[in-house]
Amino acid sequence: MSAAGGAFGGNRGLRPMPPEKGIFPLDHMHLCDLEKKEYLHCLKTASHQSEKCRDFSKKYLQCRMEKNLMAKQDLAELGFKGSNVENHAETITERIDN
Residue (of 62, 55, 56) closest to 84 by Cα position: 55
Q: Look at the chain and report how many structural domains it folds into.
A: 1
| Residue 22 resides in a domain | no
Q: For residue 20, tell me if it sits in a domain.
A: no
Q: Is the dihedral of CA 64, 66, 67, 69 positive or negative?
A: positive
Domain presence at residue 28: no
Does residue 13 lie in a domain region?
no
Give residue 38's domain range.
34-97
Does a structural domain hold residue 16? no
With contact defined as beta carbons under 8 Å apart, do 37 and 53 qualify? no
Return per-residue pLDDT of the chain as tens, 98 residues: 455 555 566 666 677 665 565 556 788 899 999 999 999 999 999 999 999 999 999 999 999 999 999 889 999 998 888 644 444 555 455 555 55
Rounded to two decimals, the pTM is 0.60
Predicted local confidence at residue 86, as pLDDT: 47
pLDDT of residue 47: 94
59 assigned to some structural domain: yes
